[in-house]
A and B are shown apart, each in its own frame.
Chain A
Amino acid sequence: MTTPNVPPPDVRPPRPRPSRPRRAVPLRYRVPWKKIVVYTLAAFLVLYLVLPFYWIFAMSFMREVDAISVPPNWIPPHPTLDNYLSFLRPDESQALVGGRAIRETPFALGNSMIVASATALLNLVLAVPAAYSFSRLRFTGGRLLLIGYLITRMVPSIAIIIPFYLMIRSMGLLDTYWALILSYLTFSLPVTIWVLKDFFRAVPRELEDAARVDRCGWFRTMWSVFLPVAAPGLVAAAVFSFMTAWSEFMFALFMTSTEAAKTIPVVAANFATDMNTQFTLMAAAGVVAVVPPLILVLIFQRLIVQGMAAGSVKG
Chain B
Amino acid sequence: MNGPALIVLFSLVAYPIGYSFWVSLHQQNLKRPDDTRFIGLENYFALWRDPTFLSSLRTTGLFVVLVVSMTVVLAMILALVLNESFLGRGVLRSLALLPWAMPGVVNGLMWRTIFDANTGALNGLLTDLGLIDSYQAWLSSPSGAFFLTAFAQVWNTLPFAVILLLAGLSTIPSDLYDAAKVDRAGVFQRFRQITLPWLLHPLLIVLILETMNAFRAFDTIYVLTGGGPGDATSIIAVLNVRTALTYTDFGLGSAYSWVITAFTLIISVGYVAALYRKGSFEV
Contacts and interface: CB of A to CB of B under 8 A. Distances in A.
A237 interface: no
B246 interface: no
Nearest to B152: A52
Contact of B155 (A52, A69, A132, A249): A52
A306 to B, nearest CB: 8
Interface residues of B, number: 93
Contacts of A67: 119
Interface string B155-166: 100000001101
Q: Which interface residue of A46, A151, A250 has the most chain B CB atoms within 10 A?
A: A250
Given A189-B8, A289-B106, A313-B205, A301 B121 contact: no
A182 B106 contact: no
A41 B79 CA distance: 11
A57 B176 CA distance: 44
Given A39-B86, A154-B261, A301-B93, 19 more contacts: A41-B77, A45-B78, A52-B110, A53-B102, A55-B121, A129-B3, A130-B5, A133-B1, A151-B265, A159-B261, A163-B20, A193-B5, A247-B104, A248-B103, A250-B219, A293-B100, A304-B163, A305-B166, A314-B201
B2 interface: yes
A147 B268 CA distance: 11
Contacts of A290: 98, 101-103, 106
A38 B163 contact: no
Nearest to B20: A159
B179 interface: no
30 contacts: A34-B84, A39-B86, A45-B81, A48-B155, A49-B98, A53-B98, A70-B135, A72-B119, A126-B8, A129-B1, A133-B2, A145-B2, A154-B268, A155-B257, A156-B261, A158-B240, A163-B15, A185-B8, A190-B9, A249-B103, A265-B106, A268-B223, A272-B105, A289-B102, A290-B101, A294-B97, A298-B97, A309-B167, A313-B201, A315-B201
A163 B118 CA distance: 43
**From DSSP, what is the main secondary structure of chain A's interface residues?**
helix
B8 A132 contact: no
Nearest to B223: A272
Interface string A274-315: 000001001101100110011011100100111011001111
Contacts of B86: 35, 38-39, 42
Contact of A49 (B95, B119, B261): B95
B141 interface: no
Interface in B252-267: 253-254, 256-258, 260-261, 264-265
A268 to B, nearest CB: 5
A283 B9 CA distance: 37
B241 A279 contact: no
A255 interface: no
B218 interface: yes
B244 interface: yes
Interface string A40-70: 0110011011101101100100000001111
A305 B170 contact: yes
Given A71-B128, A72-B119, A309-B168, A298 B15 contact: no
B250 A162 contact: yes
B282 interface: yes
A60 to B, nearest CB: 11
Contact of B4 (A129, A254, A282, A314): A129
Given A55-B114, A126-B4, A315-B280, A243 B101 contact: yes
A266 B96 CA distance: 25
B193 interface: no
A88 interface: no
B228 interface: no
Contacts of B105: 247, 249, 265-266, 268-269, 272
A42 B88 contact: yes
Interface string A90-118: 00000000000000000000000000000
Contacts of B283: 143, 146-147
B101 A297 contact: yes
Q: Which interface residue of A264, A301, A315 has the most chain B CB atoms within 10 A?
A: A315
Interface residues of A, number: 95
**From DSSP, what is the main secondary structure of chain B's interface residues?**
helix
B99 interface: yes
B46 interface: no
Contacts of A56: 109-110, 113
A163 B19 contact: yes
B124 A71 contact: yes
Contacts of B189: none
Contact of A249 (B19, B77, B104): B104
B223 A297 contact: no
A210 interface: no
Nearest to A35: B86
Interface in B219-241: 219, 222-223, 237, 240-241
B257 A129 contact: no
A22 B16 CA distance: 73
Contacts of A273: 223
